[in-house]
Amino acid sequence: MQDYCTDYVSNTDYQAHPSPHHPLPPQNVIWILADQLRAQALSCNLDPNSRTPNIDNLAIQGMNFNRAVSSYPLCCPFRATLLTSQDHQQCVPGHGYPLKDGTKTIADAFNLHHYDTAYFGKWHVDGARQNPIMHIVPKERRGGFNTWLGYENNNQQWNTYVHGHTPQGEVPQYRLQGYETDELTNLLIDYLENTPQDQPFFAVLSVQPPHDPHPAPARNKSHFAWPTMELRANVPAGEDRRNQVKLELARYYAMIENLDDNIGRILDTLCRLNLDTSTHIVFFSDHGDMLGSHGLDGKVVPYEESVRIPFIISSPTGSSFGFKTGTTDALISEYDIAATTLGLCGLKQPDWLQGYDYSYYRYQPKISSGETNRSARKEPDSVIIKAIIPREGCDKAWRGIITRDGWKYVCFEDSEWLLFNLRDDPYEQINLAHQFRYREKRLALRALLQSWITEHEDTFILPKEDAL
């Protein structure tokens, strides 16, 4: 076992983050990654339909990032940037595009620190366009994980095939016997039970639900009656359409409850194995789902139901290192999750892995320290949102910016599109993009968006000023 003290970040002022004098014991991390779960669909985020007691407990015991963002609300681009922290433009710009051979991932970073790394479930960054359900991801394209049991893509949660490898060798493709989330959770639990307790690990559980077509186990479906579903305020009127949305919502929430049940199983396993005092759980989604809001379904549009994702960090129980709890409006996105995850374990971020480290939100600040800078870099006050390749809800490429003080600006290359004050208009029902009185705000946000585009070497061209 290596000397972990030599790997810790030291330029911070939070009490629990390690130093050579006060080393943090080796920490484990589990990512639980849902698919198409919007931030608004959890009971801890005040959804009246949702039943998520285990996720709620993660939020109570941890930090709920209630303004987390999917910068590119589409599976493949989000997941590739999640794993690599590279910009979508240079990484995976849309569906059906693979990660480049030899691309380093967060697993490589953890491997450098002698962590065991494991991945279970949906991958969706190997570029399979034909029959992704049965596609075999080559071992060298599985992100560097020591254990990898998954599949490229699948929207049939009762008909899931997985393949991969363990340290003992290749695992041929086989069909899971039950519902996908239940079975993938079984694989993660089996991994936890067979990993030595003195071996730190980074594990990922990546499930398809609650992605449509919304099949759920009968035990969960029975808890949600469609006529009782409450709709968001921005679902248009029209009885037939609203009833259709309610039907989908009942199935959607049943799948979320099933995921929550399985998170409860994971928490019970960690307690049983005495791993609960050394394991961080990071729960999030790749993007949201419109589900009738603004008359739309799916994702890849800049509205809150599409771009806003749940993001919760629940840290080890019973720790003496002073983990904070609560909520924050920090604008964490997929660019930052790898850096933040390494920071939770006190591990240095390699040069090839970018992103902002938000891990200090989980630690109490030093009371006696004279230092004031929590990070060597200024915390971002905005985040870019985008769709590089047109898809689903919009047939044009678009770019936008969300600011921490609650403004959202979105445009096409040839015209304005959207401007919202989210603090006054959380359901985005008043588009200010073409109101003259907000021209100066548009110009300021446009300049901020241009700085993001320049920094990330994006090829998008903002509309000419005379078009504003």
Q: What is the mean pLDDT of the chain?
A: 89
Map out the domains of the chain as residue ranges: 4-362, 396-467
Structure tokens at 55: 């996720």
What pLDDT, on a 0 to 100 scale, did the predictor assign at position 366?
37
First-to-last C-alpha distance (Å) of the chain: 60
Give the DSSP per-residue string, 419-437.
EEETTT-TT-----TT-GG
Element (H, E) at 253: helix 239-272
- Share above pLDDT 70 across residues of the chain, in percent, rounded to a whole number: 90
How far apart (Å, rounded) are the C-alpha atoms in residues 38 and 40? 5
3-state secondary structure 179-191: CHHHHHHHHHHHH
Contact between residue 152 and residue 128 where contact means Cβ atoms under 8 Å apart:
yes
User: Residue 243: pLDDT above 60?
Assistant: yes
Q: Which residue's entry shows tokens 């493709």?
A: 173
pLDDT, residue 322, reads 58
What pLDDT does 369 receive?
34
**Which CATH fold topology does 396-467 show?**
Arylsulfatase, C-terminal domain (3.30.1120)
Give the DSSP H/E element, type plus range, for residue 337: helix 337-344
Given a cut of 70, is residue 364 above it in pLDDT? no
- Mean pLDDT in residue range 437-455: 95
pLDDT tens column, 172-204: 999 999 999 999 999 999 999 999 989 999 999
* pLDDT in the model for residue 371: 34
Tokens (6 digits) for 29: 């991390």
CATH superfamily of 4-362: Alkaline Phosphatase, subunit A (3.40.720.10)
d(CA 379, CA 81): 19
d(CA 291, CA 49) in angstroms, rounded, equals 14
Provide the pLDDT for residue 377: 66
Give the pLDDT mean for 357-381: 62
Cα separation, 397 vs 389, whole angstroms: 6
Quick one: pLDDT at residue 315? Answer: 78
Query: What is the pTM for the complete model shown?
Result: 0.92
On the question of pLDDT at 360 being above 90, the answer is no
Residue 363, pLDDT > 80, answer no
Report whether pLDDT(21) > 60.
Answer: no
Sorting pLDDT into bands at 50, 70 and 90, what band is 262? very high
Spatial separation of the C-alpha atoms in residues 402 and 386, rounded to whole Å? 11
Mean pLDDT of 232-247: 96
pLDDT tens figures, 58-110? 999 999 999 999 999 999 999 999 999 999 988 999 998 999 999 999 999 99
CA distance linking residue 216 with residue 220, whole number of Å: 7
User: pLDDT (tens digit, 9 = 90+) per residue, 284-337?
Assistant: 999 999 999 999 999 999 999 999 999 999 978 755 455 788 999 999 999 999
Q: Centre a 10 Å sphere on the Cβ of residue 277 and count the other Cβ atoms it contains.
A: 14
Per-residue pLDDT, 319? 56
Per-residue pLDDT for 408 more than 90? yes
User: Does pLDDT of 25 surpass 80?
Assistant: no
**161 CB neighbour count, 10 Å cutoff:** 17
**What is the average per-residue pLDDT within 451-463?**
92
The percentage of the chain sitting over the pLDDT mark of 90, rounded to a whole number, equals 79
**Each residue of 376-393: pLDDT tens digit?**
568 999 999 999 998 878
